[in-house]
Amino acid sequence: MAGLFRRIPGFRSGTWWKQLAASAVYLVAAFSPYVMLRRLPGWCALLLYLKGTNQLRGVNRSGAEWGNEWDGWTGQTHYEWPTATTRSNEFNYFLSKNMNVIRLPISWERLQHELGGPLDPTYLQNLLDYFYAATAFRNQSINKDFQGFYVIIDLHNYGRYATGAFNSSGDPVATFTQHKLGDGTLTFAHVADVWTKIAKHFVINENVMTIQGRRVIFNLMNEQHDAHPSLDSTAIFAGYQTVEKAIRATGAKQMILFPNTRSSDTSHWSKYSPQGGPLDRDAAVNVTDSVFDMHSYSSIDNWIDDIKNVTDWARRNNKRLFLSELGTEDGPAVVSKLLSYIRCNGDVWVGWTMWNLAPYQITTTDKLSGAVSPTPKMAWYERHFLAYLNIGD
């Protein structure tokens, strides 16, 4: 009998009363069709609490990637890194809402002006400054146990890169050439090159790796889509796996978020293959040592059916998922339905970050003062930022 209970999730962690309660809740869930079928958020919250499950939950902090759009680099010169004051204000606000992760989109062209070239020192330093500030952030008056944010570095380039976007002095120019993966110029070796150069900044110092470096997550490519026709789904998944292996070869052990063949969305996963070749659900089976990056907007995807499809696939194949973009204008009930499901399937879903720009945004930051204010949509998400929902919610 003791052996049986040791197999129950959460039994071996926590105090004796947690162990006993975890066993009871687990058995009730296992043998109650009502709980299993309805997956009540309150039951999920209790079981996750007893197991010690604490998902990542937060926002995207857009600004440094501006100018990289769906069809590639636009040549836009305006972008922003938040000032130290703005950064601090945002961190305090995010923490006050119980967020613990920030996804930080960046521009490949600004970070690396030439394919295979060195990283731009100014842009890189801004990236590192943000990372160090976020992962070291503490405010005991808000949360005495908080040990810093996780930061997702998101290469926000859609499987594209513009050559000639910067001159030899490092200034942006209007005469650039767009490229997409597989077109004969842009290759997965180039993606691996920039990522290994990023990754080395988080493994070069053993102390950084063990304390703050653990809190960085590498998001290989934002919304890969419409690659050159020479690349089918098999080639795309295999190509990004070579990028993952190149990162691991640097000694980096951090979590890696892995894209799919079209915009990381959930709607096509088990239905059709945008690039040709096997369905993404089949091409992705052999990917190892990564978490699959998913995006979902209620105007595009079917909440919850598409999410449920990828969840079931991940559980069958022992994979994990991260919802790094989500957004809706359909009201709080839709948000609650989605995020309650994500929470109740915490064995598969590592966490989520909502897309914090119009029309979905939940905060605004004053450009002059750096003051942070909620939008009306904050109320849709606020309860879901809590580490554990109140029982009965």
**283-318: per-residue pLDDT in tens?**
999 999 999 999 999 888 888 899 999 999 999 999
Query: Looking at residues 152-180, what average pLDDT do you find?
Result: 97
For the stretch 87-98, pLDDT in tens is 999 999 999 999
CA atoms within 13 A on the CB side of 385: 20
Q: Worst-scoring range by mean pLDDT, 41-45, 196-200, 379-383? A: 41-45
How much is the pLDDT for 48?
59
Task: Provide the whole-model pTM.
Answer: 0.88
The amino acid occupying position 235 is: A
Torsion-angle region of 318 (φ positive above 0: left; ψ -120 to 50: alpha; else: beta): left
CB 179, CB 160: distance < 8 Å: yes
* Nearest to 264, CA basis, from 220, 223, 219, 320: 223
Q: Give the pairing type, strands 349-354 and 321-327.
A: parallel
CB 244, CB 220: distance < 8 Å: yes
Torsion-angle region of 290 (φ positive above 0: left; ψ -120 to 50: alpha; else: beta): beta
Spatial distance between the Cα atoms of 280 and 371, rounded to a whole number of angstroms: 43
DSSP state of 385: G
Which residues, including other chains, have CB under 8 Å from residue 299's CB and lie 6 or more apart?
Answer: 328, 329, 330
* Nearest to 225, CA basis, from 359, 72, 73: 72
CATH number for the domain running over 57-385: 3.20.20.80
